Structure 1
C-alpha cells in the first residue's frame, strides 16, 4: 500500500499556532481549511492529525475534551458520580444475588419437577457458567458501543430470561433460563469496573473502586438470606418474582439515570455533532480512526485470555488461588445448610448464617482505601531521596500483593476454625464467627490479585482479567456439584478441612510473587518487563 493511502496519525497540541501538514496540499486547499477552522466554534478542543483512508490527502482534526467541559464524565458533580457508581454496584449485587438465591429453592424444585439434588444444583452451576462466558463477549463490545447500551440491553435480557425461570413447568426450561440469565447478567462483571474509572481518577478512585470490587462478592451472600425468607413462607416461584422486580427497577435506573461514561464513545458523538454543525468532514474522534473490526476484537478477547494464562505462570497461579476461593464460597451454599441442620435451623435461619461472611466482606471493602494509602506511603519513602516536585515512579506491581499476604493466611485459618467447630456439640455462633475472617480475607485476596494482574499485564489487562473471571467461574460452577456428596461422605469437619488444605497449598503464591515477582516479570511474554 502506498504512503498516500496508508492512514497515519500524528498528534500535535491544538494550541500551537503552526503545524506541519501530514501530506502536501494545494494553496487553495489550505485556504479552504483555514476558512473551515474559522467557522468552527472556538470552544471546540481538537488536535490535528494525519489522513484517514476515506479522507486521503486531507488533514483531519481529532476531537478531545475542553477544560471543564460538562459532558466529560470526569467533570460530573461528585453526587452524580456516586449515584452512577451505586446504581452500577447494585446492578452487580442483583446479578450475583441471582447466582446463589437458587440454593434456597432446591428442595421445592426437586419435589415439583421430580429431579435429583444433582440436577437441581445445575441451577447454580449453569448460571455461573454464563457469568464466566458473558464477559468474553460483552467486554469488547463496550469498546465499540459504550457502557450504557451494554448495561441496558444485557439487563433487559436478564429480566426477560428470568421470566421462564419463574414460570417453568419442566426442568429443561428452568435450566436453560438459568444459563441465559447468567450470560446476560455478566455485563456487570466485565464492564462496570470501567465505568468507575471513567468517572474517578487519581487518588479519589480508590474508594469507589473498593465499593465496586466488594459488590460482586456481597451478592452471593445476600442470595441465601433473601431466598431463605421467601421459601420459608411462600412458593419457590416468588424467589424469581422478587428477583425480576428488583432487576426491573435496576433496568429503569440504568435507562433513565446512568448516562454513557466511556470517553472514546462520547468523543465520537461530539465529533459527529461538530461535523453536522460546521460541515467540516475532517473532524474525527480517535475511535473513528482506529478501524478496529468488531469480529476480530471479540475473537481476540476470546482467545488471548487462554493464551495468556497458558504462558504466564504468575497469572495461572493467582487465578488458581482466587478460583478455589470462589469455588469454596459457592460450595458453602450447599454446605452451610448441611452444617446448620445439625442445630435444627429452618430455611430462613440457614440463610442468616451467611451474615458472618457478609460482615467480613463489608469490613474488608471499607478498609481497602487504607491499604491503598499504605502502598502510597511506602512508595513515598522509597523515593524520598528525590528532590521535592520531581516525578516519582508508581509503586512496583508487587506492592499490591501486600493485602493478598493477609488474605493467604486468614482464609485457611478461618476455614480450619470453621471446620473444627461444626460439631453439633459446639454452639452454632462459633462457626458463623469463623466465617467472618474468611469473608475478610477473600476480599483482600481478590483485590490484591486484580490490581496485580492489571499492573503486570498492563498491555493485556482486559485479557488478564477475563482469564481470571473465566477460571473463577469454572471452579465456582463445578464445586457445588460434588459438595453434598463430599460432606455426607467425609462429614462436616473433614470436608471443610479439605477446603482449608487446598488454600494452604495456594498460600505461598502471593508470598512468592511479592518477593520474586520483579525477577519473574523479566521473562513475561504478555506483561510489562522489569528493566
Structure 2
C-alpha cells in the first residue's frame, strides 16, 4: 500500500512537471492573482442620465462651433488687416488659410493624447491654450505675429476637435448614438457659417480687432463650461482612476487597470498617427476618393467666404453686415439636415434588421447619395442666378440646398470611414481631416482671381461641375465596396 501510494505521488509529480506547474506545499500561504478593476454599471458613462449626457454633448458642440467659427470670422477682417499692416489681399486671406492648416495638422500629432490622458484634461488644456493663443491674434503688432498666432491657435484647437467625437461614443451605446453623433457632426461645420454673420456686424460698426475680442469672450465662456460641465467620460481612464483609488483605500496593490499594463507608448501612438493615415490614403482607393470628395466640399464651403462678398456685395450691393447674413441660407440648410435625421436613422435601423444586426458599411452611403445630388444642384442653382437682374433671394434659397447637401456628404463619408476601416478608424479620420483642411486652406487663396477671370456664373458653375464629377462615388462604392474591402489590408472584413 505504501508503495502504491508512493507511485501515485510520483505520477502526480510527473504530471505537474509535464504541465510546467511547480507543486505547492498545501501548508504554504496562498498567493492570490491580481484583480483587474472594472466599472460598475452606475459608474459607466453610458448609464448616466440623459440630461447629464446631453448637457455634455451640447457644451462640446457649442465649443466645437466656437473653435471653427474662429476660422471664418477672419473673412471680414481682411480690409482692416490690409489697412493696418499694409499688406495685399492675398496675404490677408492667409489669416483664414493658416488657421485651417493648423486644424488639419494637429490631429496627426495630438489625436492619440486622449488614449493616455482622457478626454477632459485634453478639453481643458487645449481650449485654455486655444483661448490664450488667440490673445496673440487679437493684439498682434504686425502681420507676421498675427499669422503665426493664427496657425498655432488653430493647431491648439485641433486637439479639442480631434477628441470631441470620441465623447459621443463614450456616452451613448450603438442603439442611441446616431442622433447625438449627428448633432456633433453638424457643429464644426455650422461654426464657419456663423462666422461671417458675426464678423459682418462687428466690422460694419467697430474696429476689426473687436472681431477677435468678441470671439475671445465666447471662447472664455466655453472654457468655463467645459471645466464645470464636462467630466471625464473615457472608460479606460475612469477604470485607471478607480484602480488607483482602490489601492490607496485598501493598501492592496493587486488592483490594476488594463491601461496601466498596456504596451502602447505615447511616442509609438503619435508615430503611428502620423504614418498610418497616409498609408491608407496611398493604398486605399475608396478612402482616397471619399476623402477627396469631402475635401472638395469643404474647400468650396471655405471658398464661399470669398465668393459671397463678390456675389452679394459687389453684384447686389449688400453692405458688410448684410453680406455676412447672406451665409444664413447655408446654415438653414445644415439645420434642415439635422431635422431630417430621424428619417435616416429609421432607414438605417431597417437595414440593420434586414442584415440580421450586421449591416455592411455600404448602408452608410444612402445619405451620401442624397447629398451627392443636392450639393451640385445647389451650386448650379447659385451659379445661374447670380445675375444682377435676378433677385438676391433666389441664390440665397439655393444655398439652403447647398448647405443640406454639405452635411449629408460629410455624414456619409465620416460614418463610412469609421465603419469600413474600423480597426484603423482614428487613422482614417485623421487622414480625412488633413486632406480636408489642405483643400479648405488653399481654396480661398484662388477664389478672387477665379471669380475675376470667369465671373460669378462661370466660377460657380466650374465648382458645380467638379462636384458633379465626384457625385457618382457613393453609388459606385455601394455596388463595388464589398469587393474592394475584401482586398484591403486596412478595411474591416464582414
TM-score normalised according to structure 2 size: 0.94
1:143 aligns with 2:115: yes
Measure, in 2, the Cα distance between the counterparts of 1:304 and 1:104.
Answer: 38
Residue in 2 that maps onto 1:229: 201
State the match for 2:39 in structure 1: 65
Q: Offset of 1:368 from its aligned partner?
A: 2.2
The offset of 1:27, in angstroms, is: 5.5
Match of 1:406 in 2: 370
Distance in structure 1 (CA, Å) of the matches to 2:20 and 2:36: 14
- Tell me the distance in 2 between the aligned counterparts of 1:290 and 1:375: 36
Cα distance in 2, alignment partners of residues 23 and 427 from structure 1: 87
The CA deviation at 1:26 is 4.6
Q: What are the Cα deviations for residues 196-254 of structure 1, in whole angstroms up to 9, with x where unaligned?
A: 11111122211111100000010000000000000100011110001111111111111
Partner in structure 2 of residue 209 of structure 1: 181
Counterparts in 2 of 1:363-378, with a 5 A limit?
Answer: 363-378=336-351
Are residues 233 and 455 of structure 1, via their aligned partners in 2, closer, same or farther at CA, if it must alter by over 3 Å? Answer: same
Offset, 1:25 = 8.2
Q: Counterpart of 1:309?
A: 281
Determine the C-alpha separation between the residues in 2 that align with 1:29 and 1:103.
80
Alignment length, in residue pairs?
Answer: 475
| Aligned partner of residue 203 in structure 1, secondary structure | coil
State the Cα RMSD in Å: 1.6
8 Å CA contact retained: 2:122, 2:160: no
- Partners in 1 of 2:249 and 2:309 — Cα distance? 64
> 2:126 touches 2:160 (CA, 8 Å); kept in 1?
no
Structure 1 alignment gaps of length 5 or more: 1-20, 35-58, 384-391
Relative distance call for 1:170 and 1:206 in structure 2 (3 A) is same
Equivalent residue number for residue 166 of structure 1 = 138
- Cα distance in 1 for partners of 2:348, 2:229 equals 35
Aligned 1:245-256 pairs, distance under 5 A = 245-256=217-228
The SS at the match of 1:236 is coil
For 1:97, the equivalent position in structure 2 comes to 69
Distance of aligned partners of 1:103 and 1:316 in 2 relative to their CA distance in 1, 3 Å threshold: same
Among 146, 153, 161, which residue is 2:125 paired with?
A: 153
Residues 1:493 and 2:460 are matched in the alignment? no
2:49 corresponds to 1:82: no
Q: Which has the higher contact order (CA 8 A, sep 6+)?
A: 2
Cα deviation digits, residues 443-464 of structure 1 (max 9, x gap): 1111111111111101000001
The aligned residue for residue 412 of structure 2 is 448
CA distance in 2, matches of 1:517, 1:440: 25
Matched, 1:349 2:322: yes
Give 3-state SS (helix, strand or coil) of 1:281's partner: coil
Match of 2:387 in 1: 423
SS where residue 204 of structure 1 aligns? coil
Structure 1 runs of 4+ with >2 Å offset:
21-34
The question of whether the paired residues in 1 share the 8 Å contact of 2:287 and 2:428 is answered with: yes
SS in 1 for 2:35: strand
1:279: Cα distance to partner?
A: 2.0
Q: CA deviation at 1:93?
A: 0.3
- What's the offset of the Cα at 1:282? 1.9
Check conservation: 2:197, 2:325, Cα contact below 8 A. yes
Q: Distance in 2 between matches of 1:26 and 1:96?
A: 64
| Alignment partner of 1:325 out of 275, 283, 297 | 297
| 1:411/1:72 CA distance change after superposition, 3 Å | same
1:261 aligned residue (212, 233, 249):
233
| Cα separation, partners in 2 of 1:80 and 1:27, compared to 1, 3 Å | farther
Classify the secondary structure of the residue corresponding to 2:340: helix
SS in 2 for 1:112: helix
Measure, in 2, the Cα distance between the counterparts of 1:319 and 1:151: 26
Deviations 1:283-340 (A, max 9, x none): 1111111121111110100110001110000000000000000000000000000011
- The structure with the largest helix share of the pair is 2
